[in-house]
């Protein structure tokens, strides 16, 4: 079983006052497009971690088959959202797919490529981290086996990059066919460049 944890609680501080997840992308709202792509993939459970503008995010995702997880500490950073999602994930889950929701081009096939690799490499006795790579550059999302659940819950750093770096023996890099896993929206300039 694979649980997708979509981080949608952030304040989009670098976007100049706009919530980047609510921006229009190719005829729909960014978070809608992201959730639709992941719902069509081989994940079994989709959690959306909300905080900043929670009601607006919930409203645009009305009717989508997701479970919302509230992060009351979202102002303390991304790690609190990751940990909120991990705590809410099904205990039956073998894999925890940590998703930044600001990837405008990511497709169902990209998610499935990572999940397929996880299934190929996964052994219930050993720890595993699946990392997407394009032209030597690591991207997102990252898929952790359930052995990392407690490590992530105890983690004090920002995001999960430190955990990946501290466990190189567990990492399997998956070569992607495109740069969808690298292109994220952080600033108004990014939005103009990618989506105008």
Stretches where the chain sits below pLDDT 70 are 10-18, 185-196
pLDDT tens, residue by residue, 92-121:
999 999 999 888 889 999 999 999 999 998
At 156 the pLDDT is 83
pLDDT at position 27, please? 82
Burial 64-84 (b: 16+ CB within 10 A, else e): eebeebebeebeeebbbbbbb
Q: What is the pTM of this model?
A: 0.90
CA distance 41 to 95: 14
Dihedral sign for Cα atoms in the order 44, 49, 55, 60 = negative
Residues 50-61: tens digit of each pLDDT: 988 889 999 999
Contacts of 140 (CB under 8 A, 6+ apart): 98, 99, 100, 103, 132, 181, 184
């Amino acid at each position: 079983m694979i649980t997708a944890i979509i981080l949608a609680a952030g304040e989009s501080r670098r976007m100049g006052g706009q919530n980047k997840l609510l921006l229009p992308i190719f005829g729909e709202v960014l978070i809608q497009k992201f959730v639709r792509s992941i719902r069509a993939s081989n994940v079994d459970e989709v959690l959306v971690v909300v905080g900043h503008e929670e009601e607006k995010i919930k409203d645009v995702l009305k009717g989508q088959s997701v479970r919302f997880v509230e992060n009351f500490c979202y102002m303390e950073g991304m790690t609190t959202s990751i940990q909120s999602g991990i705590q809410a994930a099904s205990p039956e889950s073998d894999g925890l797919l940590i998703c930044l929701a600001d990837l405008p081009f990511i497709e169902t096939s990209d998610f499935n490529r990572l999940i397929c690799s996880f299934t190929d490499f996964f052994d219930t006795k050993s720890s595993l981290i699946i990392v997407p790579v394009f032209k030597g550059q690591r991207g997102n999302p990252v898929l952790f086996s359930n052995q990392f659940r407690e490590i992530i819950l105890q983690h004090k750093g920002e995001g999960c990059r430190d955990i990946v770096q501290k466990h190189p023996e567990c990492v399997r890099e998956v070569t992607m066919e495109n740069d969808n896993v690298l292109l994220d929206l952080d600033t108004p300039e990014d939005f103009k460049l990618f989506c105008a």
